[in-house]
């Protein structure tokens, strides 16, 4: 079994209204000195069987086409092999 974790974040130059709202709420709820909050999303994909080059290529492509919007988001993809 292989686990693939795809983290998607807005590109640093892109405004993140949700992160800003969370930042405001943190301040109101007592956490002082919050310089910035950025909110992203994480996909955990569990594969039957091991990772191979073909699947890695498809995953890499779909991470850019389906899981993230490459116009405004970046993603990182990490593979964890279970023994």
71 lies in the site for other proteins, by CB under 8 A: yes
Binding mask 18-57 for other proteins (x = CB under 8 A): --xx------------------------------------
Q: How far apart are the first and last CA of the chain?
A: 8
Q: Report CA torsion sign: 17, 18, 20, 21.
A: positive
Using the contact rule CB under 8 A, the part of the chain among 25-33, 43-51, 52-60, 65-73 near other proteins is 65-73
For other proteins (CB under 8 A), the number of binding residues is 14
8 Å CB contact between 11 and 73: yes
């Amino acid at each position: 079994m292989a686990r693939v974790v795809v983290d998607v974040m807005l590109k640093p130059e892109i405004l993140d209204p949700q992160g800003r709202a969370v930042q405001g709420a943190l301040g109101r709820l007592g956490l002082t000195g919050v310089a910035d909050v950025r909110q992203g999303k994480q996909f955990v994909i569990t594969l039957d069987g091991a990772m191979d080059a073909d699947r890695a290529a498809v995953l890499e492509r779909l991470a850019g086409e389906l899981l993230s919007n490459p116009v405004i988001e970046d993603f990182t993809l990490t593979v964890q092999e279970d023994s």
